[in-house]
Structure 1
Amino acid sequence: MATEEHSEGGLVFHPFDQFNVYPLFGDGPVHWYTITNVTLWLGLAALLIIAVFVIGSSGRKLIPSRIQSVGELAYDFIYKMVEDVAGHDGAKYFPVVMTLFLFILSANMLGLLPMSFTTTSHIAVTAVLGFGVFLFVTLLGLFKHGFGFLGLFWMKDAPLALRPVIAIIEVISYFVRPVTHSIRLAGNIMAGHAVIKVFAGFAAIAAISPAAIVAITAMYGLEVLVAFIQAYVFTMLTCVYLKDALHPGH
């Protein structure tokens, strides 16, 4: 987490220290195989999903328990999104979309716990998700349509003279998708947590402590909403990209 230091000039705090990656065991350098705080909180996100959807649904009842109700609401919500956006053909890929939504939402929510680590604030994590979605929908489109998938970039309804220009723009925007997809999630999560930490630093100053505490409370409530919205936006865009892969013609 971020640290505060007292100096002659007042309080000094480092709101971005909370995003530092460090080994869980020892103080050596971080390698690709090192078990870090990121590894821990990614694992906890997976365990949370298992707890809600595996353990919680193991004793399904006609009158659902609270945890079963949460699972059923999430299932219906995402299934309807996939079917509405990607069409009936996209429903068969519902497990992929559902997994993405649950993982991002769980990671975002766990990051709001005191002394926790927000894995989705790191571009290394969100880039894997963004580029993973990009590769999945691209390979799916090529597998289902072959060269017909290239029709995604050719606007048949546009004037003939403009079609090559529009095609170039479409190609560029297509390959930018995984970058914007991943940066949007990481940037929004990181910004919110940094602002909360800044207000937390101000809370240590007696003169403005009450106002800072109110601001922290408001920001925390906003971050709970942002945690859900960012998971929703990432999933919704995945459904849009899935629709393009299944129906590439304009």
Structure 2
Amino acid sequence: MAEQESGALALHPMAQFEVHPLFGGTEIHWYTPTNVTLWMGVAVLAVFLLLVVGSRGRAIIPSRGQSLGEVVYGFVYKMVEDVAGKDGVKFFPYVMTIFMFIVFANSLSLIPMSFATTSHFAVTGVLAILVFVSVTAIGFVRHGVGFLGLFWVSAAPLPLRPILAIIEVISYFVRPVSHSVRLAGNMMAGHAVMEVFAGFAAVALISPLSVVAITAMYGLEVMVAIVQAYVFTILTCVYLKDALHPAH
């Protein structure tokens, strides 16, 4: 956002991340529909249209929508199988859901006047906590107390093992933080930079350079939207692998 204040150009790149109620007012409660709610719903609808409506024909010669769905399906399936192993394939629907939601939420945020839902830690934090709780529960259900072997580095010298175990425990509980901050931070930074360049487009002298910069940043953000969805998903697969095969 850019505006003239006291003859100077004022930039407000963080204003685009403000949460507003959809139906007026200023108070926001846990049940209040907001712009975040709206664009998360649009992302879910987009996933439904691609994977359910677009593939409903299940034709031998697929339509464009079905072809795209099949490509994404095969890509994520291979990711799960390669990283988490054959045991991880049974959790493929969960991983696929995460990937599709994030990639659509990221991509939709590039539409003018839209909202970047994955730039909010409240959104990415919930996704990361769900992954953390899920893989931890899977680990204990499958291995019981043996899951704690994930924290015991048996290959290390015996005197170092207790110290390494403490480090492993701390790093394990930091996972949701790093998992969520990586996604939200990248999305927020990219959109803020584009907003800054857009603000300078109002200055006639540097307007052409600003337009070029915005175009370049937009192309980069398209790539980031997909890459960050991939990174979040492959880390989920890595954590799932640790739950299925906890021994160091």
* 2:65 aligned residue: 67
* 1:114 aligned residue: 112
Give the TM-score, by structure 2 length: 0.99
- Measure the CA separation in 2 of the matches of 1:28 and 1:157: 57
Identity %: 67
1:83 pairs with 2:75? no
- Measure the CA separation in 1 of the matches of 2:3 and 2:63: 47
Amino acid of the residue matched to residue 46 of structure 1?
Answer: V
* 2:164 aligned residue: 166
Give the TM-score, by structure 1 length: 0.98
**Residue of structure 2 aligned with 1:223, choices 205, 221, 224:** 221
- Measure the CA separation in 2 of the matches of 1:7 and 1:100: 43
Offset at residue 8 of structure 1 (A): 3.0
Task: Choose 194-203 or 22-31, whichever is displaced more.
Answer: 22-31
**Residue of structure 1 aligned with 2:5, choices 4, 7, 11:** 7
**Residue of structure 2 aligned with 1:212, choices 210, 213, 222:** 210
* 1:46 aligned residue: 44
Offset at residue 7 of structure 1 (A): 2.3
Q: Deviations over 1:62-109 (max 9, x none)?
A: 111111111000000000000000000000000000000000000000
- Measure the CA separation in 2 of the matches of 1:42 and 1:176: 26
Offset at residue 61 of structure 1 (A): 1.3
- Measure the CA separation in 1 of the matches of 2:21 and 2:5: 29
Amino acid of the residue matched to residue 35 of structure 1?
Answer: P
- Measure the CA separation in 2 of the matches of 1:46 and 1:186: 18
Unaligned runs of at least 5 residues, structure 1: none
* 2:184 aligned residue: 186
Offset at residue 39 of structure 1 (A): 0.7
Offset at residue 9 of structure 1 (A): 4.0
Amino acid of the residue matched to residue 101 of structure 2?
Answer: F
Secondary structure of the residue aligned to 2:32 is coil
Secondary structure of the residue aligned to 2:9 is strand
- Measure the CA separation in 2 of the matches of 1:18 and 1:213: 19
- Measure the CA separation in 2 of the matches of 1:196 and 1:55: 34
Offset at residue 138 of structure 1 (A): 0.3
- Measure the CA separation in 2 of the matches of 1:220 and 1:136: 35
Task: Choose 22-31 or 80-89, whichever is displaced more.
Answer: 22-31
* 2:131 aligned residue: 133
Secondary structure of the residue aligned to 2:202 is coil
Secondary structure of the residue aligned to 1:206 is coil
Offset at residue 26 of structure 1 (A): 1.5
Amino acid of the residue matched to residue 115 of structure 1?
Answer: M
- Measure the CA separation in 2 of the matches of 1:186 and 1:136: 21
- Measure the CA separation in 2 of the matches of 1:155 and 1:92: 28
- Measure the CA separation in 2 of the matches of 1:16 and 1:82: 36
* 1:202 aligned residue: 200
- Measure the CA separation in 2 of the matches of 1:157 and 1:123: 37
**Residue of structure 2 aligned with 1:95, choices 75, 80, 93:** 93
Q: Number of matched residues?
A: 248
- Measure the CA separation in 2 of the matches of 1:77 and 1:64: 17
- Measure the CA separation in 1 of the matches of 2:24 and 2:104: 28
**Residue of structure 2 aligned with 1:19, choices 8, 17, 20:** 17
- Measure the CA separation in 2 of the matches of 1:212 and 1:67: 36
